[in-house]
Amino acid sequence: MVNTTIKTTKSQEVFAAAQNLMPGGVSSPVRAFKSVGGQPIVFDRVKGAYIWDVDGNQYIDYVGTWGPAICGHAHPEVIAALHEALEKGSSFGAPSVLENVLAEMVIDAVPSVEMVRFVNSGTEACMGVLRLMRAFTNRDKIIKFEGCYHGHADTFLVKAGSGVATLGLPDSPGVPKAATSTTLTAPFNDLEAVKALFEENRDEIAGVILEPVVGNAGFIPPDAGFLEGLRELTHDHGALLVFDEVMTGFRIAYGGAQEKFGVTPDLTTLGKVIGGGLPVGAYGGRRDIMSMVAPAGPVYQAGTLSGNPLAMTAGIKTLELLQKPGTYEYLERITKKLEDGLLQIAKETGNAACGGQISAMFGLFFTSGPVHNYEDAKKSDTAKFGRFHRGMLERGVYLAPSQFEAGFTSFAHTEEDIEQTLAVARDVMSSL
């Protein structure tokens, strides 16, 4: 059971102090609750499908540290593996066999990956793959999609969704025009717009990068034929196709979106799940492309903590757990029950809403929809979402504090957790 009311005196005190120590009181913008109102809760501990704040309140968690906690927080097998690894040291800055093990697991699982480079975050992975795609094609321009977020590197902060959308910033001060002059944008799910960009910039486009299922403008799946169309277009124009699977990798299927939809890109970025909750990222793809990365080739990229033994250990154990029979079937079942329930409750309580889910990833927009792209998502009633978020939080359910973020389940969530969440949602939506 979860609380029906919460008191957050200590959270308020801690957050008030934090605002004098860190910009906005947080280490990442969306955590500040700017788009949903009120103050954030301050975490104390996590376990399974639950979190506890510094006031001792318990919540059912649908953020899962923004995706990595697919096994649930602090899974005992992951923790045990980390304890053993920690005895050998927390950082090597040198090769270790753990890198080989996780690399083999990633290569075996993800259709596009023949070689992989480990880094420390999804942002770093996207920075690395951007440099690589330009070097391989000897072209400078890239196409990204409105509302897709690929980290906070200058080149990608153009209609970037996620925290940028949450804060209402179309871009960011400090990003020079020259840094984004080679970034072209198109609406997600709009193949004709992509075709037009290729025609207008013939032989100048290095590649197309996208979230195959958008998670940073809310949950937006690809329309039928969209990914296949991008694959054909990039091939025809000598450009590379890059799937940013930092969110979808090992979450919507063991082999990610490319396994789920049967479309193989040239390059892939990964993160979150493959670190089991520790900081990690990776990029990989065809051997001929990846062979250009230093020291095998001339494209430089390095990192002191890349391949960190603790992150590798957590990733290995997490992927082992995901290979257990029935895991993805269970994730699909409970997430569909949650999503279907939320949409039904919205309908019964007179709240315009739409959304969807794939495996352990879901989303809910307060608009009649349908939502095919970022412009559609922006039609959502964000004020209503803020009230919904606060109501759920006050009754012990923790959702992403932004209309423009996907939600995540784990195999630690139980049927009872879903039923409790839906009961709370009915109560909250009835008063919106």
Per the domain annotation, does 170 fall within a domain? yes
The answer to whether residue 381 sits within a structural domain is: no
Per the rule left: phi > 0, alpha: psi between -120 and 50, beta: everything else, 38 is left
The answer to whether the Cα torsion of 326, 328, 331, 334 is positive or negative is: negative
- Whether 188 is covered by a domain: the verdict is yes
Domain interval for residue 195? 90-322
Closest CA to 127 of 157, 159, 106, 104: 157
Domain total of the chain: 1
With respect to residue 431, please indicate whether it lies within any of the assigned structural domains. Answer: no
Report d(CA 398, CA 51) in Å as an integer. Answer: 8
Residue 156 confidence (pLDDT): 81
Q: Which residue has the tokens 């154990």?
A: 317
**Residue 252 domain-assigned?**
yes
pLDDT at 159 (0 to 100): 63
Helices (H), 201-293: 226-236, 256-261, 287-290
Residues 6+ apart with CB under 8 A from 309: 85, 88, 89, 90, 91, 92, 96, 98
d(CA 318, CA 77): 9
- Beta strand pairing call for 354-358 and 361-365: antiparallel
Question: Distance (Å, rounded) from C-alpha 424 to C-alpha 430?
Answer: 10
Could you give the CA distance from residue 238 to residue 311 in angstroms, rounded to a whole number?
36
pTM of the predicted protein model: 0.94
Relative orientation angle of helices 415-429 and 382-394, to the nearest 10 degrees: 120
Residue 134 in any domain: the answer is yes
Number of C-beta neighbours around residue 299 at 10 A: 18
What span, in angstroms and rounded, lies between the C-alpha atoms of 118 and 121?
9
Task: Indicate which residues carry an active-site annotation.
Answer: 149, 244, 272
For the CA atoms of 214, 218, 219, 220, the dihedral, rounded to the nearest 10 degrees, stands at: -60
Q: For position 163, what pLDDT does the model report?
A: 52
Here the tokens at position 314 are 């957590």
**DSSP letter, residue 366:** S
- 3-state class percentages of the chain: helix first, strand second, coil last, to nearest 5: 40, 15, 45
DSSP H helical segments within 56-142, as ranges?
76-86, 97-109, 122-137
- Establish if 337 belongs to a structural domain: no
Q: What is the CATH number of the domain that holds 246?
A: 3.40.640.10
Q: Is the peptide bond before 370 cis (omega within 30 degrees of 0)?
A: yes
Q: Is 113 part of a structural domain of the chain?
A: yes
Residue recorded with tokens 């694959």: 231
> What is the side-by-side strand order in the sheet with 397-398?
43-47, 50-53, 58-61, 397-398
pLDDT of residue 167: 42
* Rounded CA separation 241/231 (Å): 7
Q: What is the rounded CA–CA span in Å between residue 70 and residue 58?
A: 19
Cα–Cα distance measured from residue 122 to residue 125, given in angstroms and rounded to the nearest whole number: 5
The CA distance from 274 to 287, in Å, is 20
Spatial strand order of the sheet with 354-358 comes to 354-358, 361-365, 407-408
pLDDT at 160: 54
Say how far apart CA 172 and CA 158 lie, in whole Å: 9
- What is the reported pLDDT for 2? 44
The pLDDT tens digits along the chain (432 residues) read: 444 568 999 999 999 999 999 999 999 988 989 889 889 999 999 999 999 999 999 999 999 999 999 999 999 999 999 999 999 999 999 999 999 999 999 999 999 999 999 999 999 999 999 999 999 999 999 999 998 989 887 778 766 555 554 444 446 677 777 777 888 999 999 999 999 999 999 999 999 999 999 999 999 999 999 999 999 999 999 999 999 999 999 999 999 999 999 999 999 999 999 999 999 999 999 999 999 999 999 999 999 999 999 999 999 999 999 999 999 999 999 999 999 999 999 999 999 999 999 999 999 999 999 999 999 999 999 999 999 999 999 999 999 999 999 999 999 999 999 999 999 999 999 999
> Coil, helix or strand for 344?
helix
Rounded Cα–Cα distance for residues 337 and 329 (Å)? 12
